Each structure stands twice: as C-alpha cells, then as structure tokens.
C-alpha cells in the first residue's frame, strides 16, 4: 500500500502529530511527509494545545506570556485556603503571611477573624465591683475559689476602700 493515503489518514485523525511522528509510524522521512501534505493542501504544522491558566486550568484566549486567565485567578494563586478552627468557615490568606505566622511566631492555629481568636484565647469574667463583663487572656487567668477579679485598677481600688 502506498504511504500517501496513510499519511493523509494519520494527519486527519491526529492533527497534533508532528511530521516526525507520522513519518516514524509509517517508516518514511519527515520531509516526504511534508511533501505529501503540501500536495494535498493539508497543514504541515502540528497543533499545539492551548495554554492553560495555572490556577483554574481554563484555556487562555490571549496570546503572549500570560499564565493566568484573569486577575481573579492571579489573586487566588497567591493565597492559601484555610479553615477557621472556631467557626469552621473556609477563608483565604496570603501565602507569605500564613508562613510568617506559623513558622516565625509558632502559632499553629488558624482563625478567620479576631472574634474567633478571642473566643479561644480569652475568657470572659464579671467584675466583682461594677458587675460589668470583661475579658482576660487565658494565660493570665488563674481560677481561684473566692478570688475577686476587677476590670480596671479603679474598680480594684474602690473595692479595697469599701473594706
């Protein structure tokens, strides 16, 4: 069988094949493949797959050295997805900030907001003098029976003056 119909069939079935790949399968040179495709008015170049966005993997429409399809994908690529340990909401944080917080400061827990952080690391108490609620860091708090906690120095001094 002649190589001409085989070359044409391979090129039509697999447009992404290079001339060398077609020639290797049939056993002819890539120059002969090029000559056959030119006489049949078929393209001699192979189709390259479209560039894909690094973040969402969608094809990039515009030519050039772009690696993201949009500014939203570019922004997301710089962020890391985390889950709040208090409210279990998914949120994003810049990769550099997250690395700084975990490696340099030793904080291993992730919180979406200050409220979630305070819910875990602070305790709410009632002032023994004015009965207003206030918060203290858990590291400062020592539970003692019969001990009075005051929200300010003013409340503490007024309680001492009453005694």
Q: Mind listing the pLDDT tens digit for each residue in 7-63?
A: 999 988 888 888 999 999 999 999 999 999 999 888 887 777 778 888 888 888 776
pTM for the complete prediction?
0.44
The model's pLDDT over 60-119, given as tens digits with 9 standing for 90+, comes to 877 677 888 888 888 888 888 888 888 899 988 887 766 665 655 566 778 888 788 778
Same domain, 9 and 31: yes
Residue 55, in any domain of the structure = no
- Give the number of residues written for the chain: 163
Residue 17 lies in a domain: yes
Range of the domain at 141: 123-162
Say if residue 136 is in the same domain as residue 111.
Answer: no
When divided into structural domains, the chain yields a total of 3
Indicate whether 64 belongs to any domain: no
Residue 137: inside a domain? yes
Q: How much is the pLDDT for 146?
A: 64
Same domain, 132 and 152: yes
Residues 129 and 158 reside in one and the same domain: yes
pLDDT above 90: percentage of residues in the chain: 15
Integer angstrom CA distances of residue 5 from 12, 23, 46, 126, 140: 11, 13, 18, 91, 85
For 112, what's the count of Cα atoms within 13 Å in the CB-facing half-sphere?
12
10 and 32 together in one domain: yes
Report the alpha-carbon distance of residue 39 to residue 52 in Å, rounded.
34
Please report which helix (H) or strand (E) contains residue 96, including its range.
helix 95-99
DSSP letter at 70 equals S
Same domain, 106 and 133: no
């Amino acid at each position: 069988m002649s190589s001409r119909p085989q070359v044409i069939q391979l090129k039509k079935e697999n447009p992404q094949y290079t001339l060398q790949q077609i020639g290797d399968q049939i056993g002819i040179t890539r120059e002969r493949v090029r000559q056959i495709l030119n006489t049949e008015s078929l393209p001699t170049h192979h189709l390259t797959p479209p560039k894909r966005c690094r973040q969402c993997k969608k094809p990039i429409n515009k030519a050039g050295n772009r690696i993201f399809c949009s500014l939203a994908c570019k922004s997301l690529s710089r962020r890391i997805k985390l889950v709040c340990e208090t409210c279990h909401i998914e949120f994003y944080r810049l990769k550099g900030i997250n690395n700084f917080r975990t490696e340099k400061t030793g904080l291993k827990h992730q919180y979406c907001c200050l409220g979630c952080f305070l819910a875990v690391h602070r305790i709410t108490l009632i002032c023994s003098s004015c009965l207003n609620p206030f918060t203290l860091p858990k590291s400062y708090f020592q539970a003692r029976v019969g001990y009075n906690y005051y929200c300010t120095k003013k409340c503490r001094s007024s309680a001492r003056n009453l005694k």
